[in-house]
Amino acid sequence: MSDVDALKARAGEVVDELRDELVELSSKMHADVELAFEEVKASGWITDLLQAHGLRVERGLGSLPTAFRATAGSAGPRLAYLCEYDGLPGYGQSCGHNVVAAAGVGAAIALASVIDQLDGTVIALGTPGEEGSGGKYILEREGFFADVDAMMLIYPGMYNVAHSRAVGAVMATFEFFGRAAHAAARPELGVNALDAMLLAFQGINALRQQLPGDVRVHGIIDKGGTLPQVIPDHTAARIMVRANHGTTLDEVVPRLDRCLEGAALMTGTRLERSWRTRAEGAQPLLSNEVLAAAFADNLAGLGREVRPREELSGAWSGDTGAISWLVPTIQPQMAMTGTDVAPHSHEFHAASASPEATACIIDAAKAMTMTGIDLLAKPQLMSDVRAEFTTQRAAGG
C-alpha cells in the first residue's frame, strides 16, 4: 500500500469513527432550522465539534457573526471545505444544507487527522446565508477567500455527479400601477394593475418556447391586489432567470423586459422594474475538471456510480458560482433521493434526515477527504488544477 493509500485508509476510518457525531450535527440542524444569517445555533454546534477535534476555530468572520473558519496544518497549499447551514422559510432543509455542513465538517476533521503527514493546510469555512442572500459574496469582499488555493463542497440530490453544474442567475422585481375603482359600480373608471401582471406572466410563458434550452424563468406574484371588490391599482412580483452562460442571460433579459413593457402598454398601467446586473446575480459555476476527476475516482472507489455532467437539467444557482472564478472549485452532487423527489420541496426536507442522508454525509466526507489527500500529496495534481483554472478563466469557462 502506498503512503497516499495508507493516509486515505486512515482518514476513512476517522470518518467512520465520526459517524454518530456527524449524524447528530445534521439532525440538530434539520430539527431546528435557522434562516439566512440567523444560523446562531448551527454555527455554534459546528464550531464546537471542529474545536473538540483539535482544529483552530475563529467564530465570526468580518461582518458575518455566523460565519467561521477552522484550520489545521501549516504552510503548503490551503484547501477549504465549505459548509452551508441555513434553511428556507416554510421549506426547512429542503436544499439539504444540514447534509452539506455535516459532510464538510467530517472531511475537515478527517483531513486534519493526517495533515501532519502532508504539506498543506485544511480549512473548514462556514459560509452563512446561501439561500438568496449571498454570504460568500460578503466573505470574498472581506478577504476570506484570498489565501485559499482550492475548495470544495457537496450538494445532495438525485445522482452522483462529480463535474457538476450550477447556472448563472439574475432577478427582476417589478410593479404595475393603475387606478382603483369600485369593481361593480364603476369598473370603467379603473386601470387594472392585476391585468397587467397576468399579461406579463402570460407573455413570459409564451416566450419560453423560443428561449434557449438551458434557460429557466420562474417567478411569484408578491401582491395581486387588496380586495376583490376594488380594481387593483398596485401589483408586485419577482422573476428569476437562469442559464448556463452569462452571455445567454444578457441576450434573454431584454426580451423578457419587453414582455413587462408590453403588458403595461396594453393595460395603460405604469411599470416600474429593477433588474439586477449579471455581476450582482449568481454566476455559473466554473467546475475544475481535473479536481472533479480526482473526486470521481475516489467516489467510485467507495462503490458509487458517477454520472457525467448534464448540460440541460439538474442544476441550480448559488453564491459558490462567483467564488469559483477566483478559486479552483468543485461542487459535486451526491445521490440522496430518488428521481421523484425535488429539491426545495417538503419531501426533500424529510429526505435530508433519512438513512440515505447519513450515507450521503459519510461517503461525501470520505470522498472529499481522499481528494484533499490527493491534492496535498501530489504536487503535480495541484499544478494541473491551477493550470486548468487559468485556462478556463481565460476562455470564459
Starting at the edge strand that comes first in sequence, how are the strands of the sheet with 270-275 ordered? 216-223, 234-243, 168-177, 270-275
The boundaries of every CATH 3.30.70.360 domain in the chain are 173-280
Cβ 284 vs Cβ 249: under 8 Å: no
163-197 burial, b if ≥16 CB within 10 A, otherwise e? bbbbbbbbbbebbbbbebbebeeeeeebbbbbbbb
Secondary structure of residue 190 in the 3-state scheme: coil
pTM above 0.95, yes or no: no
Kindly state the average pLDDT of the residues 385-390: 97
For residue 281, the model assigns a pLDDT of 66
| DSSP letter (8 states) at residue 48 | H
Most confident of 232-241, 282-291, 301-310: 232-241
d(CA 99, CA 155): 8
Secondary structure of residue 361 in the 3-state scheme: helix
Q: CA-CA-CA-CA torsion for 204, 209, 213, 215, nearest 10 degrees?
A: 0
Query: Is the predicted pLDDT of residue 312 greater than 70, yes or no?
Result: no
313 or 152, which is more confident?
A: 152
pLDDT tens figures, 169-183: 999 999 999 999 999
d(CA 188, CA 231): 10
- Count of beta carbons in the 10 Å neighbourhood of residue 145: 19
Query: Is the predicted pLDDT of residue 277 greater than 60, yes or no?
Result: yes
Cβ 125 vs Cβ 81: under 8 Å: yes
Q: CB-based contacts of 101: which residues, under 8 Å, 6+ apart?
A: 25, 26, 29, 42, 46, 83, 84, 85, 126
Cβ 129 vs Cβ 33: under 8 Å: no
Query: Is the predicted pLDDT of residue 212 greater than 60, yes or no?
Result: yes
- C-alpha cell recorded at residue 180: 382603483
Query: Is the predicted pLDDT of residue 267 greater than 90, yes or no?
Result: yes
d(CA 70, CA 3): 26
For residue 283, the model assigns a pLDDT of 85
Query: Is the predicted pLDDT of residue 1 greater than 60, yes or no?
Result: no
Query: Is the predicted pLDDT of residue 314 greater than 70, yes or no?
Result: no
Query: Is the predicted pLDDT of residue 278 greater than 80, yes or no?
Result: no
Kindly state the average pLDDT of the residues 359-374: 98
Query: Among all chains, which residue has been given the C-alpha cell 478577504?
Result: 143
pLDDT band at 395 (very low <50, low <70, confident <90, very high): confident
For residue 397, the model assigns a pLDDT of 62
Cβ 164 vs Cβ 274: under 8 Å: no
Q: Are strands 78-83 and 56-61 parallel, antiparallel or unpaired?
A: unpaired
d(CA 72, CA 54): 8
For residue 276, the model assigns a pLDDT of 84
pLDDT band at 313 (very low <50, low <70, confident <90, very high): low
> pLDDT > 70: what percent of the chain?
97
For residue 88, the model assigns a pLDDT of 95
Regarding the domain delimited by 173-280, which CATH topology (the fold level of the hierarchy) does it fall under? Alpha-Beta Plaits (3.30.70)
pLDDT tens figures, 327-353: 999 999 999 999 999 999 999 999 999
HSE-up (13 A, CA, CB side) for residue 214: 20
pLDDT band at 282 (very low <50, low <70, confident <90, very high): confident
Q: Tell which residue, 293, 318, 298, 292, has the closest CA to residue 137.
A: 318
* DSSP per residue, 77-139: -EEEEEE----BTTTBSTT-HHHHHHHHHHHHHHHHTTGGGSSSEEEEEE---TTTT-HHHHH
Sign of the torsion formed by the C-alpha atoms of 55, 60, 65 and 67: negative
For residue 324, the model assigns a pLDDT of 95
Cβ 165 vs Cβ 320: under 8 Å: no
The hierarchical CATH code for the domain 3-166+283-394 is 3.40.630.10
pLDDT tens figures, 32-61: 999 999 999 999 999 999 999 999 999 999
77: Cα separation from own chain's centroid: 24
For residue 245, the model assigns a pLDDT of 87
The boundaries of every CATH 3.40.630.10 domain in the chain are 3-166+283-394
Mean pLDDT of the chain: 95
Kindly state the average pLDDT of the residues 235-260: 94
d(CA 14, CA 326): 31
